[in-house]
Amino acid sequence: MMESLVYIALFTPLVSALFAGLFGMSQRQVFVGIVSSMLLFVSFIASALLAYHVATTGNSVSVTLMDWIVVANLSIPFGFVVDHVSVTMMVVVTLVSTVVHIYSIGYMDHDKSFNRFFSYLSAFVFSMMVLVMSDNFAGLFIGWEGVGVCSWLLIGFWYHKADAPREKNPSISPSWAANEAFIMNRIADLGMLIGLFILFWHTGSLQYDVVFAQIPELPSIVLTLAAIALFIGAMGKSAQFPLHTWLTDAMEGPTPVSALIHAATMVTAGVFLVIRAYPLFELTPEVSYFIAALGTFVAFFAASMALVNRDLKRIIAFSTLSQLGYMFAAAGLGAYWIALFHLAAHAFFKALLFLGGGNVMHAMHDELDIFKMGGLKKYMKWTHVYMFLASLSLAGIPIFAGFFSKDAIIETAFNEGTLVLWSILVLTAGMTAFYSFRQIFLTFWGDERHNIEHPHEMYKFALVAMSPLALLAVIAGWFKNDFNSFVINLLPNYEMSEHTHHLVWYLGAIVLAFALAGIILAWVKYGKGLKRNEKVENRFVYKLLANQYYIPQIYEALISKPYAELSKFLWKKVDMRIVDAIVDGIANFIYTTGDEMRKMQTGNLSHYLNWMAGGAVFLLIFAGLLSMLG
């Protein structure tokens, strides 16, 4: 029974992708959307039943579909494991995916490539399920690359939009953004592959249980190199600095893509990798501390850029980047279960924010500039409520999910004695609250700055589909202790010291004070409408943040353009003048030789006898020379 549920959870998204793909450009859109959504819901139910089984019995479920790669000493089965970590990811992925599929029926209803979109979306979910359910690193890597390909397809879904030069138009085209995401992840994936090669070379296996059983016996330098290489892969997938620019540019894809891929699933794969490979990272404290430090930096770095951004989706994307930093900070400090808890809680309220942003775009005819909105609360009451609840959770206000998960990460930093990291994370919490409610106030409150005659709410069924995310954005944190008891059957438990326990209320009060200060400041500045200050906007710091620290421009000037110029030089000077010249020269030589040799075939018997006699003389001379040399 359990084995059947594993296959149902895994393969129904694949069936959904194939089903939607079969209809191609057919006009039977709603039918395809409903069936695909139902299949994803079946996958969610199977995942939930497996989670119940694992929780009640404490036993994982392992299945082997077939032998996959068997070469010499390498034997990798096509196997899957449903344990306390993987089943958590399965439930999160399938729940958010089901909501996104239902929502997309309304959001994409006028798109002529509706069925193609659902095929790509379901294929992504299948790849993500392979990633989290695999019982070995090779299977994880296949799912890893699968979500990369599907992400490329979905970000560039509206490929027909014309390309815009980056330096001339900040509105990057979907094709450009898709290629950027794909290439940056390929760079990082090379590091991950090197890590897998190191582990296989020294353990002779890629199975999780075999590798983790042997790594305590490996030299520290081997463990360090493997951990660094794997984390490089995680940096690309989870958009950590300096491989971070693709995440906000990926907002060129349809908004449901952002809700699924760039909030709840794919970008958390890097965090999942660190959590899954925790036995390796526990033995490499220097690498783990670097992960925590980088995560803390990224949390602050991304939040600072969100403070002044005007693009609705990019603000939420910067928020995702910041929260991923929090997750890496927890994992790097050894609080793996807390990182997983924040991953799950964040998926709910961040997906809700993105879908709410999609509702706003739907009402505003794809307008994204929050300076051109305002006063939408009276037109979009439910969207306002949903995004308000999600923002409260993101800001870490008590009783909401983000309060329990994010505050636990900040407490971990204090508990570990890393006061610099703790201070930065606390400050970032205040910044998070500010930009979250700056967005809310400028979008829904104050004066109407748009020229849309009658902004309207999203379809009712889409709003109903969003309601589970809204509920979980509120109550998910209440199950923190139950979640802890569940996952520590596999992950190491992390408990605060007595000293931290005594100070927990004071620590919480400090974080809450920063969060409330951020909300109050946002209200003072934007609660009654947009008040622009040209002096502030012209200052260097403001421009620095608005231009993302000029990092995209630096990459363009130092990497993209020189690479393009080098490619052009090699094409013209090496490829055309040397490679093509050699190939064409050989072809011309053969053609010319053949053309000349054709003159031998005159049909005259005496000519043929002369050639034969000449050939015989040549062979005799050649044979004589060989005998003399011998």
Please give the Cα distance from 11 to 3 (Å, whole number). Answer: 12
Find the helix packing angle between 336-363 and 84-107, rounded to 10°: 0
Please give the Cα distance from 142 to 381 (Å, whole number). Answer: 43
What is the residue-averaged pLDDT of the chain?
A: 90
Please give the Cα distance from 320 to 357 (Å, whole number). Answer: 14
Q: Tell me the backbone φ, ψ of residue 61, rounded to 5 degrees.
A: -115, 120
- Residue 166: what pLDDT? 45
Element (H, E) at 180: helix 174-203
- Residue 162: what pLDDT? 62
> Distance between alpha carbon 574 and the CA centroid of its chain, in Å?
37
Per residue in 437-468, is it b (16+ CB within 10 Å) or e — as a string? bbbbbbbbbbeeebeeeebebbbeebbebbee
* Res 599 pLDDT > 90: no
pLDDT digits (tens, 9 = 90+) for 60-101: 999 988 888 888 777 788 899 999 999 999 999 999 999 999
Quick one: average pLDDT of 164-178? 65
pLDDT digits (tens, 9 = 90+) for 241-252: 999 999 988 888
pLDDT classification of 169: cutoffs 50, 70, 90: very low
Quick one: average pLDDT of 104-108? 91
pLDDT classification of 263: cutoffs 50, 70, 90: low
- Residue 625: what pLDDT? 82
Please give the Cα distance from 210 to 233 (Å, whole number). Answer: 21
Q: Which residues pair with 136 in a beta bridge?
A: 207
Please give the Cα distance from 529 to 509 (Å, whole number). Answer: 30
pLDDT digits (tens, 9 = 90+) for 124-160: 999 999 999 999 999 999 999 999 999 999 999 988 7
DSSP alpha helix (H) spans, 399-550? 401-415, 419-444, 460-475, 480-487, 498-526, 534-537, 540-546
Quick one: average pLDDT of 503-519? 92
Query: Is the pLDDT higher at 213 or at 66?
Result: 213
- Residue 168: what pLDDT? 41
Six token digits for residue 468:
């589970």
Radius of gyration for the chain, computed over Cα atoms and rounded to the nearest angstrom: 29
pLDDT classification of 165: cutoffs 50, 70, 90: very low
Please give the Cα distance from 185 to 177 (Å, whole number). Answer: 12
Cβ atoms of 379 and 341 closer than 8 Å: no
Q: Tell me the backbone φ, ψ of residue 63, rounded to 5 degrees.
A: -135, 145
pLDDT classification of 259: cutoffs 50, 70, 90: confident
Element (H, E) at 38: helix 29-57
pTM of the model: 0.89
Query: Is the pLDDT higher at 265 or at 335?
Result: 335
Share above pLDDT 70 across residues of the chain, in percent, rounded to a whole number: 97
For strand 61-71 and strand 74-82, is the pairing parallel, antiparallel, or unpaired? antiparallel
Positive/negative CA dihedral, 31, 37, 41, 42:
positive
pLDDT classification of 630: cutoffs 50, 70, 90: low
Find the helix packing angle between 312-332 and 269-276, rounded to 10°: 10
- Residue 367: what pLDDT? 87
pLDDT classification of 390: cutoffs 50, 70, 90: very high
Please give the Cα distance from 124 to 107 (Å, whole number). Answer: 18
- Residue 264: what pLDDT? 67
Query: Is the pLDDT higher at 573 or at 280?
Result: 280
- Residue 164: what pLDDT? 44
For the ranges 108-117, 198-207, 402-411, 459-468, the lowest mean pLDDT is seen at: 108-117
